[in-house]
Amino acid sequence: MKPELIIERLTCQIDGTVILRDLDLTVRGGEVHAIMGPNGTGKSTLAAALMGNPRYTVTAGSVTLDGADLLVRTVDERARAGLFLAMQYPSEVSGVTNADFLRTAINARRPEDQPLGLFPFRRRLKEAVAALEMNENLPDRYLNEGFSGGERKRNEILQMLLLEPRIAILDEIDSGLDIDALRVVGANLTRMVAERGEEMGLLLITHYRRLLDHIRPDFVHVLMDGRIVRSGDMELADRLERDGYDWLREELGLRHLSDSHCEADT
């Protein structure tokens, strides 16, 4: 079944500060959406709220995945329902090898009596590690411990390849990647989108157009002031790259962040 993530009038806050206001967005299988926007406008908050990060509180609105209410579900239930978030700052887990973690995560999505065998798992892992041009010793390293910024981001993509989500959200996956790494990640994302077709929808959160050179979005949205203020296609991304956000602020009558309370990148 083609997945469908529907966000309606989502309002979300952290520590009493409202970050998202009445945000609407729909992502369907086979679609690639890109969300762009200045710092501190709520891009990462959207990703965290969808995944169920306990630091964020949804105060209004609804989110459904395939018609089922996502907001009443726990973080792990959302993940098992097919949502995946490639995080901006993945946690380190000492003593847990990448391989053990990934196998546990894959088996958490399968019926208890049908776990993925060790050899099929190792084969899939080896293929994915090779495709991402990662170090061969990565499966036996502790999860994200001692990883460079680029290795962490590739590791997030590795997890996505193996977990095969229905809706994947990539939060600034391009930050910390050098040119070659960006090319490899982009190629893998493009291949995954092509191979899975309508089985997966993709939501890219990014500051820069360069990622979109590698994986072309069907829709480009601008998030400002906690809501999506403009949607378009690659031409919109081109203009943002060329002209920045000031023209849009003027058109919409929004204040510049430096004129108001300036938040950290939320």
Partner 1 sequence: MILIDETRRTLGLAVWPAVALSGKERSWLEPLDPPAAPVSRPQLCGAAAPDPAELSRFRALETEAKHRAPARPLPCCGRVRATRLRLAAEAGRRFLPVFISGERGDGTLLYLDVAPGASAHVVLLTLASEAPIYIDVTVGENAHLQLDIIKCPGHDSWQLLSWRATVERFASLVHNSVDLDSSAYQVGQVILAGEGAELTSRAAALIQSFEEQRLDVTVTHGAAHSRSLVENHGVVQERGHGFFAVRGRMPQAAVAGDCRQESRFLMLSPQAEAHSYPVLEIDQYDVAAGHAASVGGIEPETLYYLQSRGLGEQDAQRLVTTGFLSPAIHAIGAGSEGGALIADCLFAGLAERI
Segment 200-229, which members bind partner 1 (CB under 8 A)?
A: none
Out of 94, 114, 137, 258, the only residue in the binding site for partner 1 (CB under 8 A) is: 94
Binding flag, residue 91, partner 1 (CB under 8 A): yes
Output the smallest distance, CB 93 to partner 1, in A.
6
Token pair of 189, please?
A: 């994302």
**Of 78 and 221, CB closest to partner 1:** 78
Binding flag, residue 234, partner 1 (CB under 8 A): no
Out of 14, 21, 66, 101, the only residue in the binding site for partner 1 (CB under 8 A) is: 101
**Of 28 and 109, CB closest to partner 1:** 109
**Of 92 and 180, CB closest to partner 1:** 92
Binding flag, residue 142, partner 1 (CB under 8 A): yes
**Of 91 and 258, CB closest to partner 1:** 91
Asked if residue 9 lies in contact with residue 23, where contact means CB atoms within 8 angstroms, the answer is: yes
Output the smallest distance, CB 135 to partner 1, in A.
19
State how beta strands 167-171 and 83-86 pair: parallel
Q: Which of 142, 137, 139 is nearest to 125 (CA)?
A: 139
**Of 145 and 238, CB closest to partner 1:** 145
Output the smallest distance, CB 118 to partner 1, in A.
13
Out of 74, 135, 148, 260, the only residue in the binding site for partner 1 (CB under 8 A) is: 74
Output the smallest distance, CB 89 to partner 1, in A.
9
Residues engaged in binding partner 1 (CB under 8 A): 51-54, 74-76, 78-80, 84-85, 87, 90-96, 100-101, 104-105, 108-109, 142-143, 159, 163
